[in-house]
Amino acid sequence: MEEKINDNIILIGTAHISEESVNEVRQAIETYKPDIVAVELCQRRYDTITKKDKWENTPVTALIKSNNAYFMLAQTFLSSIQRRLGEEYGVEPGSEMIAAMQEAEKHNIKVALVDRDITVTLKRAWRKMGVREKFRVIWEFLKAMLGYDEEEFKDLDLKELMKQDVISQMMEEFSKIAPSAAMVLISERDQYIAQKIFEESKKGKVVAVVGAGHINGIKKHLEKQDLNVNLQELDQIPKKRMNLVKVVEVAIPVIFFSVIGWIIYSTGIDPWNKIKDIFLVWFLVHGILSGVGVAIARGHPLSILTAFVAAPFTSLEPFFAPGWFAGLVEVKLRKPLVKDFQDISKIESMRDFFKNKVIRLLMVVALANLGSIIGTIIALPWILSLGLG
């Protein structure tokens, strides 16, 4: 798909897993002989494509934080789908971007990276979503993981998926459950990319290679006479607000110890039987559910034990999570190898997910934390009934 905006800007809309797109990109650069080839990549995604050993050199400890665990599980799952679509059509995902950069190098043409940093995009989307939308996203992702199989893959409309890039694919899936993310993932990127292309066009003729799903939005902005998008504003990550989740995290230990205090104050001579029951309920519910989460992830027995012991304590303060401790034990006992990082891109089934040590580690962290959260939902009303009953 080709759109000529003016004498200085030519847009090439591509499907990211299409041999036809690869050929079209090469032909456009040969035909227009631009001064600049702009590609819809940020530095992070560029490095991923051009430096294949990036996963190999990633410190395992950097993945154990809970937010990274959920993010990387989702990223891996989406990459798996895209890779399988690429196999269906015999083209590796991102081939058209590689072709554009190779052609540019061949003709000694400058390459410009015009997309916003993927981390900024995803963080802005996450911050703009409400608590309900975030829970929907996590729930839908878990359902997709557990129900993802060959039959569902066969039902996908491959031609429709080929029209979008990986972030646009994500948007198509998330738009119904997280509408707040739509502007960040699509509209903001259209504005951002259009402004970057516009700025490059002041230096010479530009052939811009972008996902077909962005063509109309980018074109609309480039056709404006007074294009002046504030890139600095779009690069900022909104500050964290004191949302409901934070209030709940602070409220849980306050409620727990208030119940203990109330029992000591109101029971009289021997409050310790009630206090013992409350601690027993809290420890067992959190420990069992967090340990079950690690067991579902097929974690090591010592990782299960660690989650069991850590969850009751970490649930009473907002700074640590049981998944961190269980993850540290898991990585010590089953340290991922370079091969595990390389094999992430080959994941096709739930069996592959569980066999891969990196994915297992991330699932141990995520499911240990999820078990503890469910434990709080169950245990808190229970101890309130014991303390106030």
pLDDT of residue 322: 85
Interval 18-30: pLDDT, tens? 677 788 889 889 8
- Is 277 within the bounds of a domain? yes
98 contact partners, CB below 8 Å, separation of at least 6 = 49
**What value does the mean pLDDT take over residues 307-326?**
86
Give the pLDDT mean for 379-383: 88
Q: Assess whether 301 and 203 both reside in one domain.
A: no
Q: Is 205 exposed, middle or buried (0-12, 13-18, 19+ CB in 10 A)?
A: middle
Question: What is the per-residue pLDDT for 77?
Answer: 55
The average pLDDT across 131-153 equals 60
Q: How far is CA 312 from the centre of its chain?
A: 28
Query: Among 304, 298, 312, 306, which Cα is nearest to 325's?
Result: 306
Residue 359 lies in a domain: yes
CB atoms under 10 Å from CB of 225, counted, come to 4
Give residue-wise pLDDT tens across range 64-96: 554 555 455 555 555 555 555 555 555 566 778
Highest mean pLDDT of the ranges 80-84, 90-94, 157-161, 293-297? 293-297
For residue 88, what pLDDT is reported?
57
pLDDT, tens digit, 9 for 90 and up, residues 250-284: 788 888 888 888 887 777 667 788 888 889 999 99
E-assigned strand segments in the chain: 2-6, 9-14, 36-39, 110-113, 206-211
Same-domain status, 209 and 299: no
pLDDT at 76: 56
Q: Is residue 341 part of a domain?
A: yes
Do 223 and 269 fall into the same domain? Answer: no
Look at residue 169 in the predicted model and tell me its pLDDT: 56
pTM, two decimals, is: 0.63
Indicate if 8 and 73 belong to the same structural domain.
yes
239, part of any domain: no
Owner of token pair 């878990």: 142
Same domain, 331 and 283: yes
Q: What is the total count of domains within the chain?
A: 2
Choice between 118 and 141, residue whose per-residue pLDDT is larger: 118
The rounded distance, in Å, linking the Cα atoms of 314 and 369 is 10
**Statement to judge: residues 180 and 273 lie in one domain:** no
For the residues of 197-228, what is the DSSP string, one character each?
HHHHHTTS-EEEEEEGGGHHHHHHHHT-TT--
Domain boundary among the residues 182, 214, 234 is at 234
Residue with the two structure tokens 């009751």? 312
Q: What is the CA radius of gyration of the chain?
A: 25
Which range marks the domain in which residue 384 is found? 244-388
Residues 229 and 256 in one domain: no
Pair 15, 94 in one domain? yes
